[in-house]
Amino acid sequence: MNLHAIRAIYGFELSRWFRTLGQSIISPVISTSLYFVVFGAAIGSRMGSIDGVSYGAFIIPGLVMLNLLNESISNASFGIYMPKFSGTIYEVLSAPVSAVEVVLGYVGAAATKSVLLGLLILITARLFVPYEIAHPLMMFGFLVLTAITFSLFGFIIGIWADGFEKLQIIPLMIVTPLTFLGGSFYSISMLPPVWQTIALFNPVVYLISGFRWSFYGVADIGAGVSLVMVLGFLAVCLTVVWWIFRTGYRLKS
């Protein structure tokens, strides 16, 4: 195991983040605050509580997931896309590193950033809404697992993308809609029966549901099922990454 290489990549990626610390931290904090002003304060005050949780508190897990998914994907996809774009990928390809080390460096750094950001959003949310976390360990577990899974997903997008528009298209066209329709701002049980069934095909529903359970102990779907779904998606991403390095897809001719 080339530990020095993992450390080099991980450190490089984190320092890239710290260079743009303002942008990396302030923009999600501002956008989260806006959600709280609009959904929490303005609309939330006219809505009843859901499953015994005030609307402002109810949307917190969904908001964290929304950011976690977006940030994981964009961090990881950008992290591996940029060296491809600028040509500096030659160095990683010619270095004595295996696929495992490359992934640990890039995906590890992206997931670290997302987890830190998720925690930051939780702290920001506390300024607007008082909330309790029923299962803090499970909450952190879901946070970390989701960050890793979607950083891997972002890594795959970054390798697949051969232009900046492709880098944006999957987050924009697929992930954001799935997150908004995944129960960030409502409970699945509030939907008409047909849509409840359709919603079950949305993987993000399971993520948000499991995460919300760790906060309030109630959820649309059992926490166990959520966990299995996250692990399942993680396995799919790992398989795709393994295939990428085996075949050299978009990395080596």
Q: Specify the residue, 51 or 91, whose C-beta has the smaller distance to another protein.
A: 91
Among 22, 48, 52, 96, binds another protein (CB under 8 A): 96
Among the listed ranges 50-58, 67-75, 89-97, 192-200, the one in contact with another protein (CB under 8 A) is: 89-97
List the structure tokens of 248. Answer: 């050299």
127 vs 253, beta carbon nearer another protein: 253
State how far the Cα of 220 lies from the Cα of 21, in Å rounded to an integer.
Answer: 36
Q: How far is 68 from 59, CA to CA, in rounded Å?
A: 14
Asked if 92 is part of the footprint of another protein (rule: CB under 8 A), the reply reads yes
- According to CB under 8 A, which one of 27, 45, 49, 88 is a site residue for another protein? 88
Q: Do 73 and 175 meet the contact criterion of CB atoms below 8 Å apart?
A: yes
Which residues from 37-66 bind another protein, rule CB under 8 A?
none
Nearer to another protein, 17 or 153 (CB): 17
- Work out whether 34 is an interface residue with another protein (CB under 8 A): no
| Residues in contact with 185: Cβ distance below 8 Å, sequence separation at least 6, in sequence order | 39, 59, 62
Nearest-approach distance from CB 240 to another protein, in angstroms: 20
**Applying CB under 8 A, does 5 fall inside the site for another protein?**
yes
Question: Is residue 19 a contact point for another protein (CB under 8 A)?
Answer: yes
Contact 79, 88 (CB under 8 A): no
The answer to whether 199 and 207 have CB atoms below 8 angstroms apart is: no
Among 29, 95, 100, 178, binds another protein (CB under 8 A): 95
Between 9 and 65, whose beta carbon lies closer to another protein?
9
The footprint of another protein on this chain (CB under 8 A) covers a number of residues equal to: 26
DSSP for 136-167?
HHHHHHHHHHHHHHHHHHHHHHHHH-SSHHHH
- Report the candidate in 234, 189, 179, 225 with the shortest Cα–Cα distance to residue 206: 225
The reply on whether position 12 binds another protein by CB under 8 A is yes
d(CA 101, CA 10): 10
* Binding residues vs another protein (CB under 8 A): 2, 4-5, 7-9, 11-12, 15-16, 19, 86-88, 90-98, 248, 252-253
